[in-house]
Chains A and B, each alone.
Chain A
Amino acid sequence: MRTIVEAVDLKKTYVLGKVPVNALRGVNLKVESGDFLAVLGPSGSGKSTLLNLIGALDKPTEGKMLIESVDVSTLNDSQLADLRRRIGFVFQFFNLIPRFTARENVELSMAIAGLSKADRRKRAEDLLGTVGLKERVNHKPAELSGGEQQRVAIARALANNPKFLLMDEPTGNIDSKAASEIISLIKRLNEEKGVTVIMVTHDQRLASQSKKIVQMFDGSIVQEVVN
């Protein structure tokens, strides 16, 4: 198995006002290709900070964040942007662009990567088909339910053949029926298409579907369980 993400003694300290907050206090983690990892923990345990570091949205204060053996800290602004194109972000609040249709939202990440219009259109429609939104391609986010919006977001995350999907509470903002649909979609993508998934959640039920659970508390990993 190939190691995709590796955190080595990862530390992150924020300064809130004048008080330094140790969000991460030395995290070691390895994610391998094909993994389905759930990071579980109460709020304030450092889940989101870890997620931002894995997603190259932020840089660690100490330690190393290696993505495919490349140390994120050594990359400049432009290289970070290039790296992010190959990471499939899925957010709790979907973060779709409201003025774009479902298809245009999926196309956007490909446009940023510089794909031609014809290529992106075809691929966007295929991806929306994969997540079960074939009939909704021309709907704007406001015309879609929470579950549907999240599926558009997953299609968008998959658009540039990402190294892994990085999900922040993907079911945190949708009803339970839609949530279980999302869960089975993620599982299907992982099992059938071999997509590596790293997911942050505090939903025990969702975490139980993953292959591996990492329990965080107070900025450290306290437990690793293989399901």
Chain B
Amino acid sequence: MKAQDVLSYSFGAIKLRKLRAGLTTLGVVIGIAAIVALLSITQGLQATITRQLQTGFATDTLIVSTGPGFGGGFGAGAEGRGTANSGFKLLVNYTDKINDMANVEMSMAIIQRACWVGNGTTNLTTTIAGVDFAKYARIYSSTFVNESGEIPLNPENQMIVVGKRISDPWKNETFFCNVNDNVEIIWTNATTLPSKNETYTGNVAAVLKEIGGFGVGGPSDSSVYIPISQAQTFFGTDECNTIIVKLTSDDKATIDSVSKAIKDAFSDQVSVTSATAVLNILSSVFSIIQLFLAGIAAISLLVAGIGIMNIMIVSLMERTREIGILKALGMKSRTVLLIFLCESVIIGLMGAAVGIASGWVLANVVAVVFRGGGGTFMGNQAASTGGMTITPLLTPTVTILALVFGVGVSAIFALYPAWRASKLKPVEALRYE
């Protein structure tokens, strides 16, 4: 029998039982759609996060902090754990010690506190970061860049630099503050009892260009920057949150050797995080998440496969006599096997195609819902998050894999019924009622 005749015979058999074939196909559609949707969302999320981190990060920097640090649990700074209890404090002038190390170009301390800023009518919750403007601008030369005004290299105490989302928190040109405006900075000092609000008036010297990233370690759209000396006075402390170290190179050897040198210098009481390490950790975390989600989705495909097998066995029973006729007319067992497999593969192929399409639609719907949710979150919290959008990513690999998987599962689960059909004895099959 010619291949096209086998195909049209199988197709005719499917068409005869449309509802049944439709429901069987639906099983495959759901399985494939789940896989495609989950994978394209996670891949899109990974791409977004990686991109945002890369804008917020400089690859030739290290972040020194107390405690486990960003992603510390995964190894990079695991040794730093528990230091909070040991009374170790990271002080602003420790930068001197780090500056003396080999392969270090410079370093700078950051003091960060949660604060409010007020313009007389509105208060915004935000983060104040005390930094050395000149060094910060050199380390993050692509992100700590003024959109308007001028970043003061030798700032006076009241001068501040604000992120784009502080200047325009609602993204609608209703400005909270602009260059040369005065802004009230309010910090709740909880080190005294009872706690009291400390305030001073800052003057906006510059507004940063929109960054769009998370700004881990680096500048963010939703922070207010004040001179480090002013931060020390205002917050009444010499203790800093992090020290940013700029290296002479971003190769792995340099990153590793300086990381080790810093840890050694502070007797392992600090954690050192590198942008590269964080990105690596992130990508391995995402691989695990993807595998996990794909695994869950694969279960639904497995269920679909069992559905196919079930339906094929029922179909085999119903068509025993038909198979007997075909064999009496001289059809070979191989062709009978092929007809049954072909039916299942057609179902698998249709299911996979529809599944990929609906998975992609589903992923986009989820992305839109997520974006909408993120938008209101942004509105309430003003400038507190970077505002993340996920663009689902459907790679050719995922598409092909889904197709192969759908067809493969259908074929594998049809093997047994098809084999049984092919092995039917013509005399017995013809006698079957």
Please give the residue numbers on chain A whose beta carbons come within 8 Å of chain B beta carbons, in ascending order. 52, 55, 57-58, 77-78, 81-87, 89, 91, 95, 97, 99-100, 108-109, 111-114, 116, 156, 160
List, in ascending order, chain A residues with CB within 8 A of B327's CB: 57, 81, 84
What's the least CB distance linking A97 to chain B, in Å?
Answer: 6
Contact A81/B332 with A57-B427, A99-B12, A112-B326 known, Cβ cut-off 8 Å: yes
Q: Which of B9, B324, B330 has the most CB of A within 10 A?
A: B330
Q: Select which of B9, B330, B425, B430 is within 8 A of A91 by beta carbon.
A: B430
Query: Can you report 17 A-B residue pairs in the complex whose CB atoms are below 8 A from each other?
Result: A57-B426, A57-B430, A58-B425, A81-B332, A81-B333, A84-B327, A84-B328, A84-B329, A89-B328, A91-B430, A95-B321, A95-B328, A97-B325, A100-B12, A109-B329, A113-B330, A156-B329
Tell me the complex Cα distance, A24–B322, Å: 27
Contact A111/B2 with A81-B327, A95-B430 known, Cβ cut-off 8 Å: yes
| Any A CB within 8 A of the CB of B16 | yes
Q: Which of B13, B331, B334 has the most CB of A within 10 A?
A: B331
What's the least CB distance linking A91 to chain B, in Å?
Answer: 7
> How would you classify the secondary structure of chain B's contact residues: helix, strand, loop or mixed?
helix
What's the least CB distance linking A149 to chain B, in Å?
Answer: 13
Q: Would you call B330 and A112 a contact (CB within 8 A)?
A: yes
List, in ascending order, chain B residues with CB within 8 A of A82's CB: 330
Tell me the complex Cα distance, A143–B334, Å: 32
List, in ascending order, chain B residues with CB within 8 A of A95's CB: 321, 324-325, 328, 430
Q: Would you call B1 and A114 a contact (CB within 8 A)?
A: yes
Tell me the complex Cα distance, A81–B334, Å: 10
Q: Would you call A77 and B430 a contact (CB within 8 A)?
A: no
Tell me the complex Cα distance, A129–B37, Å: 57
Q: Would you call A109 and B16 a contact (CB within 8 A)?
A: no
Q: Select which of B1, B13, B321, B426 is within 8 A of A111 by beta carbon.
A: B1
Q: Would you call A112 and B325 a contact (CB within 8 A)?
A: no
What's the least CB distance linking B272 to chain A, in Å?
Answer: 72
Contacts of B325-346 to chain A: CB distance below 8 A: 325-335
Contacts of B6-34 to chain A: CB distance below 8 A: 9, 12-13, 16
Count B interface residues, CB 8 Å: 25
Q: Would you call A78 and B426 a contact (CB within 8 A)?
A: no
Interface string of B298-312 (1 = CB under 8 A from A): 000000000000000
Contact A114/B329 with A52-B427, A58-B427, A95-B430 known, Cβ cut-off 8 Å: no
Q: Would you call B329 and A108 a contact (CB within 8 A)?
A: yes
| Any A CB within 8 A of the CB of B173 | no
List, in ascending order, chain A residues with CB within 8 A of B322's CB: 97
Q: Would you call A112 and B335 a contact (CB within 8 A)?
A: yes
Q: Which of B1, B5, B9, B327 has the most CB of A within 10 A?
A: B5
List, in ascending order, chain B residues with CB within 8 A of A109's CB: 329-330
> CB-nearest residue of chain A relative to B423?
A77
Q: Would you call A81 and B331 a contact (CB within 8 A)?
A: yes
> CB-nearest residue of chain A relative to B333?
A77
List, in ascending order, chain B residues with CB within 8 A of A160's CB: 330
Tell me the complex Cα distance, A86–B330, Å: 8
Tell me the complex Cα distance, A73–B253, Å: 78
List, in ascending order, chain A residues with CB within 8 A of B333's CB: 77-78, 81
List, in ascending order, chain B residues with CB within 8 A of A100's CB: 12
Q: Which of B12, B321, B329, B425 has the most CB of A within 10 A?
A: B329
Tell me the complex Cα distance, A58–B329, Å: 14
